[in-house]
Amino acid sequence: MKTRIIFIAVLSLLFVNGLMAKNQKVLFSVDMDCEKCQKKIEKNIAFEKGVKAIDVKLDEKTVAVTFDDSKTDVAKLQKGFKKIGYEAVEVKAKCCSGKADADCCKSGEAKTTECSGKCKEKK
């Protein structure tokens, strides 16, 4: 009976912890040249702590990483890229004028599909 209660308590804690974790997505620009680079990034970055998913687009030279923000952050992910010989530059969302998201929101310009949603919709 005690074992069953302990088991249920542990399961409950794991479930609550899973609900509290927030996944974030970041897009990096990475100077990669070939499929070998792509595979190296896919194999190594996928094993960085907190990484949930990775989408490498060689033709666009971008890497989208979905991660658990309670286990890692953008700076740590960039260090992971550096360990394998690549520089990863975070790509900020752009609004209609090409300004950074925060600048777009300040000016009240309409958002594009890449915008974070903080900008006002164009009417």
Q: What is the pLDDT of residues 50-107, one digit of tens each?
A: 999 999 999 999 999 999 999 999 999 999 999 999 999 999 865 555 545 555 554 4
Alpha helical stretches, state H, 29-73? 35-45
Report the distance separating Cα 70 and Cα 23, nearest Å. 9
CA distances from 65 to 8, 100, 112 (A): 33, 20, 21
The overall average pLDDT reported for the chain is 78
Beta-bridge mates of residue 55: 64
> Rounded to whole angstroms, how far apart are CA atoms 101 and 93?
5
Q: Evaluate if pTM is beyond 0.95.
A: no
Distance CA 112, CA 58 (A): 24
Over pLDDT 70: what percentage of the chain? 66
Domain ranges of the chain: 20-91, 94-123
What pLDDT, on a 0 to 100 scale, did the predictor assign at position 32? 92
> In CATH, what is the architecture of 20-91?
2-Layer Sandwich (3.30)
